[in-house]
Structure 1
Amino acid sequence: MSKRIWVPLWGLGLMGCALQAQADGVDTLRAFVKDVQSGRGAFTQVVTSPDGKRVRKSSGSLEFQRPNKFRFTYQLPVEQVIVGDGQKVWLWDADLNQVTVKPMSQAMGSTPAALLAGGSLEKDFVLKNVAASSTSAAAATSPGSQQRDASIEWVEALPRTKDGQFQSVRVGFRGPNLAALEILDSFGQRSRLDFAQFESKVTLPAARFQFTPPQGADVLNQP
């Protein structure tokens, strides 16, 4: 059985200047959620164990369209696809040829995917800014990460519901553009996705957010 690399999907000086800088980060995330109705981009992902010693790397692409439609495609090292069609979330593991299906209402909620494709930002999350000098263990494993992070404005989103699968998610922006996501799950595992060639407000075919299980795949429906 292969190792799973996907993460539950289901984003300072004088005191006055510091306060202004802090306000800008949260406002950037709010504007992103309000104004960016669709987007796509490639990403690399680094997953770090709670002790910081074990690292897994993967790559893939993301597409989303509000409300509640998204597609994560992992290409390396294992092919996996996660699709939210607005009603259900589908997870296909190509190695096992297995599909897991969950209702959207259970799979989204206060999850990282809800930050990108959902529409209840203030209802589901408590937002706060992160100091520019803060670099996580996941970021530190990547060459040149500190230099890249210097240009990123971070916002932390804490789920209002405390019984979910993750503790926090950080969203990073370069200007108005999505640059990175960093997720700390309930087990202390940290996952960071760095985006490249991210495009916002793009027209995406409806078929990108539809999923039909491959022939012969085992389909597991979760209530």
Structure 2
Amino acid sequence: MRLWQVLCGAALLLSSALVSADPLADLKLFYAEVSSLSGDFEQRLLDEDGDTLERYAGRFWMQRPGRFLWLYDTPYEQQLGADGETLWHYDVDLRQITMRDAATSLSGTPAELLGGDLSQLDRYKLTRLSDADGLEWLQLLPHSDSSDFEEIRIGMAGGQPAQVLLSDRLGQTTAMILHDLKRNPKIGAERFSLQVPEGVTVVDERPGA
């Protein structure tokens, strides 16, 4: 279950190099101006002492509403994608695809927060934090106790999220940084369409499947 949460949490973020004045205003403007994006990402799982337990890297594409594809190159090849209705995880080494209902699986996750509309912010208490590492930080505390994440911190730069730190209830933190981004690129619908390779097992966990 944690793998789904971590991968989804990474699904819809972007970075840049310039620092702006109001991170909350920038985040709201991000909803209004960014309909699609693509780039490279690095994702790390940190323990309570800040040591790296796992490291992932790859490329991603996103298009509102609810469509994304993340291709993980390291440490092993995998894919996480959604077409607005179905969320899937493809483990290339295991040759297995797991399919789930997107609305249910993404509910309350950072993927839903950053990939949805401005109303998503109503689910969180937002607090302006001190600047650090050349970024302006926002703290998001979920109003619901059922959230898998105890705290989300977003570092804003150049009017958009540059880093996101997701702290879970087990004391671990997922840190995400994205690079070489293209803002509002044209992305064909086929990018978000699941193609099942021959010989791959499909596990369909959607209701009614």
Cα displacement (A) at 1:214: 2.2
Q: Which runs of 5+ in 2 are unaligned?
A: 14-20
- How many aligned residue pairs are there? 193
Is 1:123 the equivalent of 2:106? no
What pairs up with 1:27-106 in 2 under 5 angstroms? 27-106=25-104
Find the aligned partners of 2:151 and 2:111 in 1 and give their Cα distance: 12
Question: 2:44 touches 2:52 (CA, 8 Å); kept in 1?
Answer: no
Aligned mate of 1:184, from 156, 167, 171: 167
Question: 2:165 touches 2:175 (CA, 8 Å); kept in 1?
Answer: yes
Find the aligned partners of 2:182 and 2:143 in 1 and give their Cα distance: 29
Find the aligned partners of 1:69 and 1:175 in 2 and give their Cα distance: 24
Q: Which amino acid is the alignment partner of residue 160 of structure 1?
A: H
Quote the residue 2:145 is aligned against: 162
The C-alpha deviation readout for 1:14-59, integer Å capped at 9, x for no partner, is: xxxxxxx5xx111111110122111111111121123544522221
Q: Which runs of 5+ in 1 are unaligned?
A: 12-20, 134-148
Find the aligned partners of 2:202 and 2:169 in 1 and give their Cα distance: 26
Match of 1:7, SS state, is helix
Find the aligned partners of 2:73 and 2:5 in 1 and give their Cα distance: 11
Find the aligned partners of 2:204 and 2:169 in 1 and give their Cα distance: 24
Find the aligned partners of 1:153 and 1:198 in 2 and give their Cα distance: 19
Find the aligned partners of 1:88 and 1:50 in 2 and give their Cα distance: 34
Question: 2:27 touches 2:161 (CA, 8 Å); kept in 1?
Answer: no
Question: 1:41 touches 1:62 (CA, 8 Å); kept in 2?
Answer: yes
Question: 2:23 touches 2:159 (CA, 8 Å); kept in 1?
Answer: no
The C-alpha deviation readout for 1:113-152, integer Å capped at 9, x for no partner, is: 113322242233332222113xxxxxxxxxxxxxxx22x2
Question: 2:34 touches 2:184 (CA, 8 Å); kept in 1?
Answer: yes
* TM-score, scaled relative to structure 1: 0.77
* TM-score, scaled relative to structure 2: 0.82
Closer/same/farther in 2, CA of residues 8 and 195 from structure 1, 3 Å limit? closer
Quote the residue 2:183 is aligned against: 200
Give the root-mean-square deviation of aligned CA atoms: 2.2
Higher RCO by CA contacts (8 Å cutoff, separation 6 or greater): 2
Percent identical among aligned pairs is 30
Closer/same/farther in 2, CA of residues 214 and 63 from structure 1, 3 Å limit? same
Find the aligned partners of 2:82 and 2:167 in 1 and give their Cα distance: 21
Closer/same/farther in 2, CA of residues 156 and 213 from structure 1, 3 Å limit? farther
Match of 1:115, SS state, is helix
Question: 1:58 touches 1:74 (CA, 8 Å); kept in 2?
Answer: yes
Match of 1:33, SS state, is helix
